[in-house]
């Protein structure tokens, strides 16, 4: 039994190592085929962009795309997620909590492709188009908002854990000097839970940046595009750039346009792993002992 379980653990570790190995190998192949010319990664032409099949690899295009959509996602996810968490932890009667909490968990279980369709069929026509009338129905705002919806559950659930970990005795101390419930929440409970809330934010950001399906479906670009900043423009994330090139009519199979995806993957991996490590550090450093 012990050997079987140990073997399972071992296989998991080996798989992680293999993924890293494949990413590194691909990335090195890419740099070989561009002759270690790092200048190619920042396009300083008049119309910079990510056009891998024309061997134009402006990293800034897809990194900015990821950042813009990640920011938009967090603008949606922070108020909704933190608000849900505060409501569930501080205000909801047990009866309501028993309904709302599973509902939030259901949202967490919805496959992202469905959220992608939700973006195209609801967020774009009913929210973004009437308010902002963008040129294209698919754009970074639509995708960013949908990614935000997708990361609300993780934001809500980690924040709620942090809030519920604040001992009741602190709330009572605040009530005991005549503080209102809202004051107690803002002045005592939220500050005491700040490390968990910051960690939730970082982990949710990491998820948002790693989200692929929604960014590819609703972002509005198929594997290539110019460098843009405006949320109302179609845009390309690192993840969408990778997935569009991996299948379908835009598929690329070899050479630098193919190998660059491994480099982007490695970058994405390093980015999300750093965020998770920062979150871990924040929790450790600022953990309250109450």
Partner 1 sequence: MIQVQAVQPERTAESSVVFSVRDLNVFYGEFRAVRDASFDINENEITAFIGPSGCGKTTVLRCLNRMNDFIESARVEGKVQYHGVDLYDPQINSNEVRRRIGMVFQKPNPFPKSIFENVAYGAKLSGRFSKTEINEVVENALRQAALWDEVKDRLKASALGLSGGQQQRLCIARCIAVKPDVILMDEPCSALDPIATARIEDLMQEIKKDFSIIIVTHNMQQAARVSDRTAFFTTEINPESDRRTGVLVEIDSTRKIFSMPSDERTELYVTGRFG
Q: Which parts of this chain interact with partner 1 (CB under 8 A)?
A: 93-94, 167, 169-180, 183, 187-188, 191-192, 288-290
- Tell which residue, 38, 43, 67, 65, has the closest CA to residue 54: 43
CA distance 99 to 85: 14
- Tell which residue, 47, 85, 6, 33, has the closest CA to residue 261: 33
223: left (phi over 0), alpha (psi -120 to 50) or beta: left
**Closest distance between partner 1 and the C-beta of residue 200, in Å?**
19
Centroid of chain to Cα 274: 13
Nearer to partner 1, 32 or 187 (CB): 187
Q: What is the rounded end-to-end Cα distance, in angstroms, of the chain?
A: 41
**Closest distance between partner 1 and the C-beta of residue 162, in Å?**
13
**Closest distance between partner 1 and the C-beta of residue 280, in Å?**
21
Nearer to partner 1, 2 or 95 (CB): 95
CA angle, 252 as apex, 246 and 256 as ends, to 5°? 110
Nearer to partner 1, 169 or 274 (CB): 169
**Closest distance between partner 1 and the C-beta of residue 290, in Å?**
6
Nearer to partner 1, 126 or 182 (CB): 182
**Closest distance between partner 1 and the C-beta of residue 180, in Å?**
5
Nearer to partner 1, 12 or 169 (CB): 169
Nearer to partner 1, 92 or 232 (CB): 92
Q: Are 204 and 155 in contact (CB under 8 A)?
A: yes
Cβ-Cβ contacts under 8 Å for 226 (sequence gap 6 or more)? 47, 48, 49, 61
Cβ-Cβ contacts under 8 Å for 147 (sequence gap 6 or more)? 69, 70, 72, 73, 208, 211, 214, 215
**Closest distance between partner 1 and the C-beta of residue 187, in Å?**
7
- Tell which residue, 226, 286, 238, 235, has the closest CA to residue 262: 238
């Amino acid at each position: 039994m012990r050997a079987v379980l140990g073997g399972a653990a071992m296989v998991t570790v080996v798989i992680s190592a293999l993924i890293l190995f494949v990413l590194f190998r691909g990335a090195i192949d890419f740099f070989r085929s561009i002759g270690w010319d790092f200048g190619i990664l920042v396009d300083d032409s008049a119309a910079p962009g990510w056009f891998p099949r024309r061997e134009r690899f402006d990293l800034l295009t897809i990194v900015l795309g990821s950042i813009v959509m990640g920011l938009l996602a967090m603008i949606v996810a922070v108020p909704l997620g933190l608000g849900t968490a505060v409501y569930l932890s501080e205000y909801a009667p047990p009866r309501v909590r028993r309904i709302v909490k599973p509902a939030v968990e259901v949202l967490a279980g919805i496959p992202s492709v469905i959220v992608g369709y939700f973006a195209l069929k609801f967020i774009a026509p009913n929210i973004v188009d009437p308010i902002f009338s963008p040129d294209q129905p698919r754009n970074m705002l639509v995708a960013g908002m949908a990614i935000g919806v997708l990361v609300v559950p993780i934001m809500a659930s980690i924040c709620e854990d942090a809030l519920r970990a604040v001992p009741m005795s602190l709330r009572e101390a605040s009530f005991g000097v005549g503080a209102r419930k809202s004051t107690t929440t803002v002045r005592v409970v939220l500050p005491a839970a700040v490390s968990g809330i910051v960690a939730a934010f970082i982990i949710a950001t990491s998820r948002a940046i790693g989200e692929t399906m929604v960014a590819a479906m609703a972002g509005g670009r198929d594997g290539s595009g110019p460098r843009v900043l405006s949320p109302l423009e179609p845009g390309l994330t690192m993840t969408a750039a990778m997935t569009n090139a991996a299948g379908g009519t835009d598929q690329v199979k070899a050479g630098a346009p193919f190998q660059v995806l491994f480099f982007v993957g490695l970058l994405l991996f390093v980015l999300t792993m750093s965020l998770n490590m920062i979150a871990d550090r924040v929790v450790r450093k600022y953990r309250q002992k109450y």
